[in-house]
Amino acid sequence: MEVKYRKSQGLTDKKLSYCPGCTHGIVHKLVAESLEELGVLGKSVGVASVGCSVFSYEFFNCDMQQAPHGRACAEATGIKRVLPNNVVFTYQGDGDLASIGIAETIHAANRGENITVIFINNAIYGMTGGQMAPTTLEGQRTTTSQDGRNHLIHGNPIKISEIFSQIEGAAYVERVSVYNPKQLMKAKKAIKKAFTYQVEKRGFTLIEVLSSCPVNWGMTPPDALKWIEEKMTPVFPMGVFKDSGEAHE
Amino acid sequence: MQPIVFMTGYYGSGKTEIVLELAIRDQYDMVIDLDIINPYFRSREAHRALAEAHIQLISSDHDQPTYADMPYVSGRMYAPFLETGVKAIYDLGGNDLGAKLLRQFEMFDQEIELLLVVNLFRPETSDTEKIIQLIHAIEGSSGRKVTGLINNTNLLKETTAEDILAGQVVLREVSHRMKLPIRFTVVERHVPVEGIAWDGDLLRLQLRLRKSWY
Amino acid sequence: MAKVLMKGNEAIALAALKGGIDAFFGYPITPQNEIPEYLSKHLLAAGKVFVQAESEVAAINMVYGAAGAGARVMTSSSSPGIALKQEGISYIAGAELPCVIVSVMRGGPGLGGIQPSQADYYQATRGGGNGDYQLIVYAPETIQETIDTLKESFDIADYYRNPVLILVDGLIGQMMESVDFDKPIRKRFIPEKDYATTGTDHHPGRNIVNSHYLNPDELEQHNLHLQKKYQQIKNNETKFEMINMEQPDYVIVAYGTMSRIARSAIEMLEEQGIHVGMIRPITLWPYPRAAFDQIPKSCKGILCAEMSMGQMLDDVLISDRGRHDVAFFGRVGGIVPEPEEIVDAILHFQERVVK
Amino acid sequence: MPKGKVTFDYEMCKGCGLCVAFCPQHILYQDKVDLNKSGYNIIKVNDPEKCIGCAFCAMMCPDSVITVEVNK
């Protein structure tokens, strides 16, 4: 018999610090597998953010830096500018990227920083206890929108991929999900393509992954995946929002 | 010399101190501070000395013009072009960036003096080539020809007459190649000058913006 | 390179180049703009890194990333901008990365003004960032001293794996002085940057740049380790100058621009037959407490002079340990005092004694 | 001879059940009795012969618990 699927070399042996059924783990695998398959693990530098994925510096089997809340893209800029031939990526949640760190992220994109951003959108703040995220859906109950998000009070869910599609320096922006194996395979393709673009020095790449938070959503892991498909995808449609396809240099 | 003088040069070359000295010595009617580059050590800080010498100072219409950190200049900056017989010196900000303000005067066709202050001890104007490059840059950004040179070679308190003479040698070469007269040689009052043949008019300088303790 | 006439900010930028800077990240703010302007031209021309960030917050985090990747990195800013950088500075200190930060002080609080001030003494020595950390803080008084300090500070930062802050005010940043860039600096043994995240192809194991320790025991150990390092810095790097200290009637304590004004005041007082000495701290952290043990018995009192409202005064009181009357003189808001004002403060010393 | 074979790194399992939910052959189940050291109910295979080696279970597993082998 031959091995068809095994744990990626791009992950350490450390047990993930995510809740049972949280799709952070799935996206970690996709990133790790992409780096492993492209043969760039030994020159990769990841930037962990603040939020549930803060410990990702313990999980990705490459050099890592841990960034202040929202600053991952600034930190990645610093790394990439002095190590232009390394592969540099950030792994950020929706609070980190779409709220406190949106300036750093937009400007890194606008400068066309040759980095890859993995953006986990699960419509809620997981780590701090289920508060409203900038991506929380209208009507969604969180600990800081207890009667449901109301755009008149709380504003609207922010659409990162749509925004970044307008930015000159962004080479590739796609929104994917991992709610079933088919979507997962598309997500893997997108993430691998983003890293390929980086290796080819084409500029800024961002992959938004619609993810689950079964514990804070109050659902079983399989039900949480159904909720992504049924509730999130109408608000956050999947697809390629920008693909420059052109060489950057 | 035309009655309207614009003082330009590399930043830190001594433009402002020369503007103040020349305005007071030769009884100019107006000093117009157009330094939008740098909010420290501008001629507007010497408003008292200028007032005592009955020289009108024009800087900004802002109600806190002395220390304002914004490029807002006064519309009265055009006054010397609109009136006849006014002797005025414009203090531009440093480099070609400061000289770009001359573009605001394109509608006037009067002849002006555009004098380049040079200190050979400023590393960016330390030789003939660099000075000529600066002249080209200033002419490019201002749209006006430089009309004369000012030798302000100095190391502040440490300046010797030999230093100034060394500057004169280089400026003569610039003068020859660019066909520009050396209008002034600037010498701080503590430096002895007897028996030396200086190019142009000798301007004895008293520093007005620099305090005695530095 | 012989003597040249340089503006403070421009000299800071050139000294950084001489100190081996690899990358600069900054954001414009008066009165330090000549630093990034100069470096933008010369760093890119030398094939090195210059990025004008979208904010001071981003700039300091770019510094963090590049320092973690093993580069010699610098940023510069002024008072409100340094305030914004405190978050990143705390992380850099926590992750034990080297970098150089230049702070060209202006008046505050809030947006304040753009004229020179020393109102950021607390900001520099106490820090606005979270946690128990220290920066090595230098307060040079001339452009020449600023150059020499800056050239050496890259080595010091690397040696201790700690951020170094060069604290000057707008006057030093904007004034001109004749300077020499080729004064030799002290040679130090700089260890290999085996912590740098250059990719596992380039070193054994994984390198992680981090200031995150959830386990209280580990975090306490990390803090104790930092304190041990800070003690080492106190022992090795504390710098100060003693001026005119033979049997002084009074001793002035002043740093940076204020110490230059005090030098003139001391000469003027000497003419009146009043003999005044000066302790000039060169490092503000570590603060030169030992200097106060060397004050001769003749001294009737200490005058702390600042272009702030009594920030360094705390360190003077701590260092003097109640041995003398301590008086205070301060001007703020961008006012640079005249030497005569300090002369007057000495002549009316008793009225100024801090209760 | 089954087409595929799945093996579990039981100590890494958090019993989330995503593998069970996405197995097209419905051959996985969460054991009601057996726990791993972390206290999670582990996943077992009730009919290994039916495994087609699609690896959906392994792909959907967030914790890299499952290795899949196939006969060629």
Judge: A181–D64 Cβ closer than 8 Å, yes or no.
Answer: no
Q: Is the pLDDT of residue C271 over 70?
A: yes
Q: Compute the distance between CA of residue B25 and CA of residue B43 in angstroms, rounded to an integer.
A: 15
Number of A–D residue contacts, CB under 8 Å = 81
- Binned at pLDDT 50, 70 and 90, residue A64 comes out as very high
Q: Which of A63, A103, A107 sits opposite C206 (nearest CB)?
A: A63
Q: Are residues C125 and C18 in the same domain?
A: yes
Q: Is the pLDDT of residue C48 over 60?
A: yes
Judge: D69–A3 Cβ closer than 8 Å, yes or no.
Answer: yes
Q: Which of B44-58, B65-79, C86-100, C228-242 is predicted with the least confidence, judged by mean pLDDT? A: B65-79
Q: Are residues C208 and C223 in the same domain?
A: yes
Q: Compute the distance between CA of residue B154 and CA of residue B188 in angstroms, rounded to an integer.
A: 8
- Binned at pLDDT 50, 70 and 90, residue A246 comes out as low
Residue that terminates a domain, selected from C216, C237, C258 = C237
Q: Which of B51-65, B173-187, D46-60 is predicted with the least confidence, judged by mean pLDDT? A: B51-65
Mean pLDDT (whole number) for B36-56: 88
How close B109 comes to chain C (CA, Å)? 34
Q: Is the pLDDT of residue C1 over 60?
A: no
- Among the listed residues A126, A150, A146, the one whose alpha carbon sits nearest the alpha carbon of residue A137: A150
Backbone angles phi, psi at B188, to 5 degrees: -65, 150
Q: Domain limits at C287? A: 240-352
Q: Domain limits at D59? A: 4-70
| Predicted complex ipTM | 0.93
Number of B–C residue contacts, CB under 8 Å = 61
Q: What is the pLDDT of residues A100-141, one digit of tens each?
A: 999 999 999 999 999 999 999 999 999 999 999 999 999 999
Judge: B213–C175 Cβ closer than 8 Å, yes or no.
Answer: no
How close D63 comes to chain A (CA, Å)? 6
Mutant choice from A4, A8, A22, A211 vs D, greatest count of D C-beta within 10 A: A4
Judge: B121–C174 Cβ closer than 8 Å, yes or no.
Answer: no
Q: Say which CATH number the domain at D53 has.
A: 3.30.70.3270
Q: Are residues C339 and C316 in the same domain?
A: yes
Q: What is the pLDDT of residues C187-236, one digit of tens each?
A: 899 999 999 999 999 999 999 999 999 999 999 999 999 999 999 999 99
Q: Are residues C118 and C86 in the same domain?
A: yes
Q: Is A86 on the interface with C (CB under 8 A)?
A: yes
Please report the pLDDT score of residue B60 as a whole number. Answer: 74
Q: Are residues C233 and C274 in the same domain?
A: no
Mean pLDDT (whole number) for C294-312: 98
Q: Is the pLDDT of residue B17 over 80?
A: yes
Mean pLDDT (whole number) for A33-40: 98
Judge: D17–A19 Cβ closer than 8 Å, yes or no.
Answer: no
Q: What is the pLDDT of residues C63-92, one digit of tens each?
A: 999 999 999 999 999 999 999 999 999 999
CATH class for the domain made up of A24-126+134-243? alpha beta
Q: Which of D9, D14, D64 sits opposite A29 (nearest CB)?
A: D64
Q: Is the pLDDT of residue C157 over 70?
A: yes
Name the closest residue on chain A to residue D64, using Cα atoms: A7
Q: Is D7 on the interface with A (CB under 8 A)?
A: no
Query: What is B4-205's CATH superfamily?
Result: P-loop containing nucleotide triphosphate hydrolases (3.40.50.300)
Judge: C177–B156 Cβ closer than 8 Å, yes or no.
Answer: yes
Q: Is the pLDDT of residue B61 over 70?
A: no
Q: Is the pLDDT of residue A247 over 90?
A: no
Q: What is the pLDDT of residues C235-270, one digit of tens each?
A: 999 999 999 999 999 999 999 999 999 999 999 999
Q: Are residues C291 and C231 in the same domain?
A: no
Please report the pLDDT score of residue A101 as a whole number. Answer: 98
Q: Which of C4, C31, C263 sits opposite B123 (nearest CB)?
A: C4
Q: Is the pLDDT of residue B57 over 80?
A: yes
Q: Is C75 on the interface with A (CB under 8 A)?
A: no
Mutant choice from D3, D7, D16, D57 vs A, greatest count of A C-beta within 10 A: D16
Judge: C211–A12 Cβ closer than 8 Å, yes or no.
Answer: no
Q: Is the pLDDT of residue B193 over 90?
A: no
In chain C, how many domains are there? 2
Q: What is the pLDDT of residues A186-209, one digit of tens each?
A: 999 999 999 999 999 999 999 999
Please report the pLDDT score of residue C60 as a whole number. Answer: 98
Q: Are residues C51 and C194 in the same domain?
A: yes
Please report the pLDDT score of residue C110 as a whole number. Answer: 96
Q: Are residues C303 and C269 in the same domain?
A: yes
Instruction: Give the containing element (helix H, strand E) for A152.
Output: helix A151-154
Q: Are residues C218 and C252 in the same domain?
A: no
Q: How confident is the prediction for chain A on average, in pLDDT?
A: 96
Q: Is C37 on the interface with B (CB under 8 A)?
A: no
Q: What is the pLDDT of residues D1-53, one digit of tens each?
A: 899 999 999 999 999 999 999 999 999 999 999 999 999 999 999 999 999 99
Q: Are residues C87 and C176 in the same domain?
A: yes
Q: Which of A11, A19, A221 sits opposite D64 (nearest CB)?
A: A11
Q: Are residues C185 and C219 in the same domain?
A: yes
Question: Which subunits sit against D, judged by 3+ Cβ pairs under 8 A?
Answer: A
Name the closest residue on chain A to residue C54, using Cα atoms: A107
Q: Is the pLDDT of residue B65 over 90?
A: no
Say if A and D touch: at least 3 Cβ pairs within 8 Å: yes
Q: Are residues C232 and C292 in the same domain?
A: no
Judge: C64–A76 Cβ closer than 8 Å, yes or no.
Answer: no
Mean pLDDT (whole number) for C147-167: 97
Name the closest residue on chain C to residue B38, using Cα atoms: C31
